[in-house]
């Protein structure tokens, strides 16, 4: 079984960063956490995965957003834009 490295996916250039399914899995890792920061990170990865074609990520992004404050959602959206801009 392949070893999944979060660091590599977060920092890889967009061409190397995997497809929507890989980014969806990354979002799932954060979605199961308990802290608001992890929910924001999960939202960020679901947002990026949705932009790359994952309908499941779009659905999960909506679900996790229901548990977040407007400020948390805005921070997650900024983080997603920043990641896309730099990768």
* The predicted structure's pLDDT at residue 36: 62
Question: Do 49 and 16 contact (CB within 8 A), yes or no?
Answer: no
Q: Report d(CA 12, CA 7) in Å as an integer.
A: 8
Q: Report d(CA 59, CA 56) in Å as an integer.
A: 5
**pLDDT tier at 18 (50, 70, 90 boundaries)?**
low
| pTM of the model as a whole | 0.69
**pLDDT tier at 27 (50, 70, 90 boundaries)?**
confident
In the chain, beta strands by DSSP E: none
Question: Do 57 and 30 contact (CB within 8 A), yes or no?
Answer: no
Express each pLDDT in 31-57 by its tens digit: 876 666 789 999 999 999 999 999 999
């Amino acid at each position: 079984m392949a070893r999944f490295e979060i660091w590599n996916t977060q920092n890889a250039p967009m061409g190397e960063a995997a497809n929507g399914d890989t980014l969806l899995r990354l979002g799932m890792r954060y979605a199961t956490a308990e802290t608001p920061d992890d929910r924001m990170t999960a939202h960020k990865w679901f947002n990026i995965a949705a932009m790359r074609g994952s309908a499941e990520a779009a659905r999960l992004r909506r679900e996790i957003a229901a548990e977040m404050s407007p400020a948390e959602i805005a921070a997650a959206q900024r983080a997603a834009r920043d990641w896309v801009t730099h990768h």
